[in-house]
Amino acid sequence: MDKITDRYHQPVNNDRKHLDPLFDFKEVAKRTYQLGFSALSLGIFLSVYDAFIGMYVSSFLLACFCFAILMFMILKHQEAIKDLTISIFSVLCGLLICLVLLEGLQSDQYLYFFPILIAVPLVVDLKQKNSNKPAVFVGIMIFSFITCIVIGNYVKPMEQFTAQQAAKLILVNRFTALGSTIVFAALYTFFEKKYIEEILTQSERVINTKTQFLATMGHELRTPLNGIIGVVSLLKNEQSAAKQEEYIKILQSTADHMLQQVNDILDFNKIEAGKLELHPIKINLDNFLLNTSLPFKVLTANKSVEVQTEVDKQLSTTILADDMRLTQVLNNLFANALKFTTHGYVKLKATCIKKDAKTITAGFSMEDTGIGIDKADQEKIFEGFWQVYHEDTRELAGTGLGLTICNRILRLMGSKLSLESEKGKGSKFYFELTFELAATAPVYNPIMINASSDLKQLRILLVEDNKINMMVAKKVLTGFQASVDSAYDGAEALTSLAHFPHYDIVLMDLEMPVMNGYEAIFEMKEKYPLIPVIAFTASLVDQQMLSDLLASGFNDCLLKPFTPQQLLSVIKKHVGTPQRV
């Protein structure tokens, strides 16, 4: 029986809420309402009390204050005012100034500035960067406090009251002002504690995720590496050419698999960090789809699974799309479908759902007659690092990241993967995409290179300091029939260009001794602006780095390690296909 296998004991938590800002703004807004209600209750109590002891003017003023607070809260609820906190604070300070005008300083009502001051950090997010709100609040407070003191000392009180009334009033004001200061201070301590606990939990979660990620990577890479080491030692002692060839094939497929895993893990990491971006170019949709399925057709030519492609004629149009990311999604779905199908067919189908003057909506589906996926597992396979362990096929190759990556890419494109599958009968993964229609067809440079003639007429300058990487890249390029000159650093590359300034393309590493790629590109572009230069790098290239590379003169960037096919296609792109928009 198949079962969902949690390979690393715990799936990576993809819940975005864990990445949300620590301070919950809704909570702050809720607290502002709570502060409003507290001020309202206290105002009603004091208004009734003032009336009770015969201070009718103060009582009326407090009633007006309560009415104002209530109005602000209603207006805020109906979204007629923007900032409830500042409105309540201004009314509170205004009330205290009016009370001092009425009663002078003798009733100690200025003591209410203390609870107001303590309440500020409860209702204003002090952790928010670049906010001048705290300064505005403190400014209002200081201004109001000084005004109260000045008025209290120099202006004659308007309402006269007896010594008995004054004693009662002082007692109530001191008691309630002190009480609310203590309550607000206790609340502030409580929320600060909660905030610190939240920070600690989050940092623990980050450490756990990192540890888990490293454990995953380690496990994923050590397993095939172990196989490679074993096969290499077998290969050393093997005399038979047939056996040697078999071992080399194993090495090749293990290395390819490892590369796929590293790319998956890097992509996943990039997506999680929100660094994946789309770079649309003009493509012809039906040509693109036929080309994408071609390698899989070749791969399954002699097998009992037929790769079928069915593309709606209406999709024969030029659109703007990130071809690389779309290929990544379709390749993943193709690879999965073929991995889990032994008989029957794997069909890529694309239909036109809607077309208008500016956009086209296409429906894509990848259908197979393979082993299918159990209902219980259908949701989980979209989570990072989850795989279904099939006991019959013993298939668990992969990282369990493929579908997660597909889904994230599609989400960036405004879509989502759906699945219909029945155990034992097959699966169908499908999604819809809307593309902008391009006004003109893709423009190709005159030097077109087709797959069979490869890079025959090209002369390439390869700049790389690592001897093994140089040897491999040179072998691959000469394998495609290009003529290759090598340079081991930027300075050597410039010397080569001075001798022969007609290279078709320069492939240059970034990190090199003597003169690195970043330094060399300036001189290269100044002297030979028409020669395309491609950067090689093993670093994680985000949009910022890519923009910097393009701005400094590089025409493109190829991530190491790369496959011969990737190297070929980047060269073809710059000596024969359109520029990215």
Residues forming contacts to ligand ADP in the complex (CB under 6 A) are 332, 336-337, 340, 368, 370-371, 373, 381, 387-388, 398-404, 427
Nearest distance, CB of residue 430 and ligand ADP, angstroms: 12
Between 141 and 259, CB nearer to ligand ADP: 259
DSSP assignment of 78-107: TT-SS-HHHHHHHHHHHHHHHHHHHHGGGG
Between 381 and 497, CB nearer to ligand ADP: 381
Half-sphere exposure of 126 (CA within 13 A, CB side): 12
Nearest distance, CB of residue 266 and ligand ADP, angstroms: 14
Asked if 338 and 377 count as a contact pair (C-beta separation under 8 A), the reply is no
CA dihedral 522, 524, 528, 531 (to 10 degrees): -110
| Tally of residues, the chain | 581
DSSP 8-state class, residue 305: E
- Between strands 418-422 and 426-437, the pairing is antiparallel
Between 418 and 495, CB nearer to ligand ADP: 418
DSSP 8-state class, residue 531: S
Nearest distance, CB of residue 350 and ligand ADP, angstroms: 18
DSSP 8-state class, residue 580: P
Nearest distance, CB of residue 574 and ligand ADP, angstroms: 30
Whole-angstrom distance, CA of residue 403 vs CA of residue 381: 7
Instruction: Write the single-letter amino acid at 474.
Output: K
Nearest to 118 by CA among 136, 98, 138, 102: 138
Nearest distance, CB of residue 264 and ligand ADP, angstroms: 6
What sign does the dihedral 203-205-208-212 (CA atoms) show?
negative
Nearest distance, CB of residue 425 and ligand ADP, angstroms: 11
Nearest distance, CB of residue 225 and ligand ADP, angstroms: 18
Nearest distance, CB of residue 429 and ligand ADP, angstroms: 7
Residue nearest to ligand ADP (CB): 398
Between 40 and 403, CB nearer to ligand ADP: 403
Classify 537 as helix, strand or coil: strand
Between 32 and 336, CB nearer to ligand ADP: 336
Nearest to 421 by CA among 392, 386, 383, 380: 380
Between 371 and 410, CB nearer to ligand ADP: 371
Nearest distance, CB of residue 421 and ligand ADP, angstroms: 7
Between 403 and 482, CB nearer to ligand ADP: 403
Whole-angstrom distance, CA of residue 155 vs CA of residue 147: 11
Nearest distance, CB of residue 333 and ligand ADP, angstroms: 7
Half-sphere exposure of 2 (CA within 13 A, CB side): 20
Nearest distance, CB of residue 365 and ligand ADP, angstroms: 12
Helical H segments across 343-412, by residue range:
402-412
Instruction: Write the single-letter amino acid at 260.
Output: Q
Residue 9 corresponds to which tokens in the numbers above?
A: 């004991």
Residue 219 corresponds to which tokens in the numbers above?
A: 């496990």
Residue 230 corresponds to which tokens in the numbers above?
A: 């074993």
Asked if 531 and 524 count as a contact pair (C-beta separation under 8 A), the reply is yes
Between 114 and 430, CB nearer to ligand ADP: 430
Between 322 and 368, CB nearer to ligand ADP: 368
Look-up of token digits 């002369």: 459
CA angle, corner 530, sides to 524 and 535, nearest 5?
55
What sign does the dihedral 460-461-464-465 (CA atoms) show?
positive
DSSP 8-state class, residue 307: E
Nearest distance, CB of residue 335 and ligand ADP, angstroms: 7
Between 43 and 384, CB nearer to ligand ADP: 384
Between 187 and 259, CB nearer to ligand ADP: 259
Between 187 and 412, CB nearer to ligand ADP: 412
